[in-house]
Amino acid sequence: MPRHGRIDIAGQLYHVIARGNERKALFIKKDDCEDFILRFKTNLERTGNKCLAWCLIPNHFHLLILRGKKPLAELMRRLMTGYAVSFNIRHRHVYSKAEMTQP
């Protein structure tokens, strides 16, 4: 049975929780937290959403967001994709174990 879409209403308050894959750390160093917060702030401005509270814990985070003019999914997609790419580059998870095939 397919999953139903999330309810996404302008002006509604949402508690967003996300955690690392296999409960691994999302925030290893202070730089990780600073990068996440900067990306979050930038994407809040782009989407017209407002953050009322946030909490970063090493392996997950909580956000209390007042939904603005653009869908919450757009904010979270931009935030999480951008942060994942920068985290993987910083911690050498991208292409570090790429296999090479030679004839």
* Nearest C-alpha neighbor of 82 from the set 29, 21, 35: 35
- 73 pLDDT band (50/70/90 cuts)? very high
Residue 78's pLDDT is what? Answer: 96
55 contacts 62 by C-beta, under 8 angstroms: yes
Look at the alpha carbons of 50, 20, 60, 57 in this order and tell me if their dihedral is positive or negative.
negative
Quote the strand ranges of 8-67, DSSP E: 13-19, 50-57, 60-66
Phi, psi of 46 (to 5 degrees): -65, -35
CA 76 to chain centroid, in Å, comes to 6
Q: What is the pTM of this model?
A: 0.83
Whether the per-residue pLDDT at 95 is higher than 50: the answer is no
30-51: per-residue pLDDT in tens? 999 999 999 999 999 999 999 9
The rounded percent of the chain whose pLDDT value lies above 70 is: 88
